[in-house]
Structures are given as structure tokens and as C-alpha cells.
Amino acid sequence: MREANHQTGHKAAALAGLHAEIATQSAAIEQQVIAWRRDIHQHPELGNREYRTGALVASVLRERGMEVVEGIGGTGVLGILRGGAPGKTVVLRAELDALPITEQTDVPFASTVTTTYNGVATGVGHMCGHDCHVAILLGVAHVLSKAPRTWSGTVLFLFQPSEEGAPDGEDGGASVMLKDSRLTAMHPDAFFALHVISNMPVGAVAYRAGAALASSDIFRIRVDGKQTHSGYPWTGIDPIVSAAQIVLGLQTIESRQVAVTEEPSVLSVCMINGGIKENVIPASVELAGTLRAFDEAMREDIHRRIARVAECIACSCGAKARTTIRPLYPVTVNHPELTRRIVPGLRRSVGADNVFEAGKLSASEDFGIFLRNYPGSIFYLGCAPAGIDLRSAAINHSPLFFVDEAALLLGMKCMASVAMDFLADFALDVGGPVPVCSSVL
């Protein structure tokens, strides 16, 4: 018993020393991480097109002496860092891609990149925070490469393309990466990730065990009528009026057809396209949107209801509706035990009073695909400036989304601590209850 206690004490002391080194090295690299983030932010790239970003990542990892695998899952990059002895393998993941959103912030490094997406001219911007995730993970790679290799096992730094979804007609993201034997041959034991979030202040971190982020599906509805003169609508079949009724009818699925007290779900129509002339009733209209859910049976039930509502309403107007639904991401389910075990590392990194338990979020994450195949967890990193009214903070995917860069240092410390705690199979418990964070309920 005395020998076991001695070994435990020695292990705790070694891990405490490693975490102290992580804090020191993270502070030393902070300004470089901010510079990386600003460079990536100013040069955003859409999914499956992250050539410049991937090249930057590969270059930085090689400079830190890592084995680097490029072209994984398309434009992705894998960095391999081995510890002082064999052990478990932990994957830390960040996303490379930006969004087809025109940035409206006034930061000096704002994106001015433009492109055509789905036939529409648009700006391109890191309005979800993936630029922060890449910079943070590059910082963690630097920190752990500089720290003494007193730890056992392997850290895989996985930089994923196309988290926001592949372009039409292409595959991408986590599902493609998991088909690449260069990743699976490393036999990962766990996956971890973080996501910056603007409805928590910088300094705050939140986690959730179990179902944490919603599934995501894209639905498209084509409503076919009969084209005619706008002054004589009775001579045709108006698909615009049918489509308008379908939009309203779809909202009754959430409000009147599913048990909202069992699990939340969100159905949003985000696109309506039809017509090219103000005095011509068109032949067809297309609707598109997303469904978010937390229960697979409810998700499938809502799929059926979407098609039924669209088809029946169209039929009542004399039109026809055809519905297609493309599943994107499953529910992101954090492994309960591994999530519990990351709490001490999060508390150590930002202070015990700044770590919260979150409620379910109706956003979706490609990371859920990894977690269907391997245990792991994703946690949230507050990035709103301290003192701001969180109700006025621009949410992720807004053209005004803003990140307080003080979050980058905290993100580095959190991710490095989580990885080292997992590989050590031992966490330094800092104690105390975990409050619930109402801002991310």
C-alpha cells in the first residue's frame, strides 16, 4: 500500500510539473498564436479548398519536428507527436474551413475574400471561429513539442477540412477522414475538440456529458405548379402561394406535432427561390432548410412529417411537392466518463469558478461523426469580451461574429491539459461543485 501511494504521489508530482510547463510554454507562444489566427482569418477558404491553410499548418508542424501527413481526408493535415514511451493515442481536432459569409467587423485583419457559392456572389469569412481553433491547436502542438517528453503515448493533431459541409456533389469532413487508413491505422483511443462560443465571456469554459449538440439534416422541397400571367392567376397553378403555405405548415411540426417536452428540435426554412419576372407566376419554387434534433427516432419521424406536410399542402393547391432530405451530422454525444475526466484539466486552465456545465445546444458539429466511432468530448470556450452584454453579442455564423483573442491562450492550456491528463490516465482533481452555465442552456 505504501509503495502504491508513493507511485501515485510521484505520478501526481510529474503531471503537476508537466502542467506547469504547459502554462509557461503557452504564455510564451501566445503572440505567435494570435498572429497565426489573424493570418488565417484574413485568408479564409471554403470546405475542400483549404489549400493555403493546410500548407501553413503542415509547415508549422514540420518546424516543430513532427511527422506530418498531408492530403488526409482531402485537404486535411495530421501531425504526429510521440511521447517518451508507448501508451495511448489521443486525437486533438480543429477545423480548417470558413463560411460563405461576408464579414462586417471592423478589425484590421477582416476578410476581403470573395467567391461564388451556389451561384451567388458572396464574401468568405471565418465567422464560426475555426481560425481560432486552428491557431490554438498549432499552439498546443508547439507547447507539447517543447515540453519534456515525460509523458507516454501519442498525440495526433488532426486538422479537418469541410466541417461546415462539403460543396454540392462532393464528400468531405469527418466521414471522409475516417475512411483514410493513415488516420485509423494510428488506432486512436479518444478524440477531443473545443469550440469558441460568443454567448459566454472570455475566461469561461463549459462542457456537457451525453447528447450535447444537435443532429443536422438539409431538406429541399420543390413545388411544381403551372406558369401563367400574374394578372390571370386562375389560369395557372401558383407555386409561390403553395410554398408560402408550406413554410407555415412546416412550423406546426415543431409547435403542434412532436412532443416538445421530450426532446427539443428546430426546423428552419433558410432559402426560397422562384420566379424571374415580377409579372409572371413561375412554374416552380424551391425551398431549403435544416432540421436539428437530439433523438434519432424523433429525427426520423420529423423527416416523414416534412414530406407529408409539403405534399399535402401542395396537393390542396393543385400543385405537387417533392421532398429530399440529406442527413449531415448525427447528434454529438460526449462520452460521459471521459467528459467527467476533462473537468479537472479545464479547471486548472481557467480557474475552478470559471468552468460550467452547459445545456444542450441546437447547433450541430461534424465532430459527432468521430464520436460515433470513438469515445471523446467537445467543450466550449467563451470568446465574448469581458463585461459585454451577452444578449448583444453576435452569435457564431453572424457577419459580426467577434472573438476576444484572450481566449486563445486559455484554449491552448485547456487542450494541452486535457490531452496530457488522458494519456496519463490520471487527473489532478481541484475539487468543488460545477455550476450550470445559463447562457448556453
pTM of the model: 0.90
Is pLDDT of 438 > 60? no
Q: Which residues contact 146 (CB under 8 A, 6 or more apart)?
A: 25
How much is the average pLDDT of 411-437? 74
* Predicted local distance difference test score (pLDDT) of residue 16: 82
* Percent above pLDDT 90 for the chain: 87
Is pLDDT of 116 > 70? yes
Over the stretch 98-107, which tens digit does the pLDDT of each residue have? 999 999 999 9
* Confidence band of 12 (pLDDT split at 50, 70, 90): confident
Q: Any idea what the Cα angle at residue 209 is, between residues 205 and 211, rounded to 5°?
A: 110
The residue to which cell 469558478 is assigned:
353
Residue ranges per structural domain of the chain? 2-209+335-440, 215-329
Is pLDDT of 65 > 80? yes
Report d(CA 14, CA 149) in Å as an integer.
11
Report d(CA 322, CA 392) in Å as an integer.
39
165: left (phi over 0), alpha (psi -120 to 50) or beta: left
Give yes or no for a contact between 83 and 149, defined as CB atoms under 8 angstroms apart: yes
Report d(CA 394, CA 411) in Å as an integer.
20
Over the stretch 37-55, which tens digit does the pLDDT of each residue have? 999 999 999 999 999 999 9
How much is the average pLDDT of 378-382? 98
Whether 329 sits among the annotated catalytic residues: the reply is yes
For the domain 2-209+335-440, what is the CATH superfamily, name and number?
Zn peptidases (3.40.630.10)
Quick one: DSSP state of residue 63? H
Closest CA to 266 of 275, 257, 253, 277: 253
Is pLDDT of 288 > 50? yes
Whether 70 sits among the annotated catalytic residues: the reply is no
Greater confidence, 289 or 169? Answer: 289
- Which residue of the set 103, 163, 207, 329 is catalytic? 329
* Confidence band of 426 (pLDDT split at 50, 70, 90): low
Backbone angles phi, psi at 76, to 5 degrees: -75, 165
* Predicted local distance difference test score (pLDDT) of residue 190: 97
Is pLDDT of 441 > 60? no
Transcribe 304-336 into DSSP letters.
Answer: HHHHHHHHHHHHHTT-EEEEEEEEEE--EEE-H
* Predicted local distance difference test score (pLDDT) of residue 433: 46
How much is the average pLDDT of 89-96? 98
How much is the average pLDDT of 264-285? 96
Assigned fold of 215-329 = Alpha-Beta Plaits (3.30.70)
* Confidence band of 17 (pLDDT split at 50, 70, 90): confident
* Confidence band of 435 (pLDDT split at 50, 70, 90): low
Over the stretch 174-225, which tens digit does the pLDDT of each residue have? 999 999 999 999 999 999 999 999 999 999 999 999 999 999 999 999 999 9
